[in-house]
Amino acid sequence: MNGSVAPAVLRFDDLDKYLLHKNGNYLYKVPFEGRWAVLKLYYGSLSMTRYALKSAGNLLLANQTAVLPWSRRRTELDCIRLWRDAGFRVFGVYDAVVEGLPRDGHALFEWVDAPRFVHYFADRATPLETRLATWRRFLPVWHRRHRLAVERREPRFVHENGDLKHVMIVGDEFLFFDFETVFRAKSRVREVVAREILCYLKSLARTVGDEFEAFLLETVANYPGRDLLRYTHEFAFADPNPLVRVGRKLDLAFRERAQKPSSKYRIAARLDQLLGRA
């Protein structure tokens, strides 16, 4: 938003009729200057006590930013500016406020009607080779962001909620969204890049099922940063923190989902094998 000019003020007699989605936040598809826009209200269904407790956990334990409504709004708008300035496609932000809503708790975004990765890659009516070609086209874009994160020691370039639900296909571009929380420690950027790689691949495995091996082969062949792919194995199995290592061993030993083909452990091990290190 541009602070040098007064924002447009919107008024809605019945905002509920525009409700689009409710999941922690409230999203509304509202009319704005002859087109549709998405109004995001960061004050969701949690009490302020719950927000404060979750924020304390994020700040003290999880290497993440706070989840208080105004903090999530500030973080998201900050990341949108950062990613856009680096050449990545993100939602446009309109300089507007809604009467009756807290100014530090809402924002108005561009409405984009485009397929999300999670639906596109699951659709077997689209030939596998076509979907693989789209994934190949995505990999250099994905890698460029990871490389920027590492080179600039900038954790805000890492998609904290990174999975196939939060990328859209808009023409020849890939639109990223959902930046309410980010990682904070500049010294742990490679670690969180590895986490994001595995999160995307876990999401892909669950989405494409028995086709996943083909996508993993394309990833190894066409993702430009093999050093970053290799580090996923160290992240999953050899964390420098002994408590984390013990926790992951217990996870592998006792949690059934840790043994599934879509688990981060199985994917990291298969990547390691394909990269020729096993």
Q: Look up the CATH number of the domain holding residue 43.
A: 3.30.200
Structure tokens at 86: 């680096």
Amino acid, single-letter form, for residue 241: N
For residues 181 and 65, the answer to whether their CB atoms sit within 8 Å is: yes
Which domain range does residue 58 map to?
8-110
pLDDT in tens, 42-101: 998 788 898 899 899 989 888 999 999 999 999 999 999 999 999 999 999 999 999 999
Shared domain check, 128 and 93: no
240 and 131, same domain (yes or no): yes
How many whole angstroms separate alpha carbon 116 and alpha carbon 26? 20
- Residue 16 CB contacts under 8 Å (≥ 6 apart), including other chains: none
Is residue 101 located within the same domain as residue 133? Answer: no
On whether the CB atoms of residues 177 and 163 are closer than 8 A, the answer is no
Residue 16: inside a domain: yes
Q: pTM of the prediction?
A: 0.92
* 67 domain residue, yes or no: yes
Domain-embedded: residue 144: yes
Asked if 141 and 82 sit in the same domain, the reply is no
* Domain end position, chosen among 79, 110, 141: 110
Specify if 1 maps to a domain: no
Which among 83, 110, 137 is the end of a domain?
110
Q: Indicate the angle between helix axes 264-274 and 212-222, nearest 10 degrees.
A: 50
- Residue whose C-alpha is closest to residue 76's, from 221, 182, 203, 154: 182
Same domain, yes or no: 31 and 56: yes
Number of domains forming the structure of the chain:
2
**Left, alpha or beta for 126 (phi > 0: left; psi -120 to 50: alpha)?**
beta
Residue-wise pLDDT for 158-198, tens only, equals 999 999 999 999 999 999 999 999 999 999 999 999 999 99
39: which strand partners? 28, 108
Domain boundary among 110, 137, 157: 110
Q: Which of 15, 46, 50 is nearest to 31 (CA)?
A: 15
Closest C-alpha among 121, 93, 91, 128 to residue 108: 93
State the pLDDT at residue 238.
82
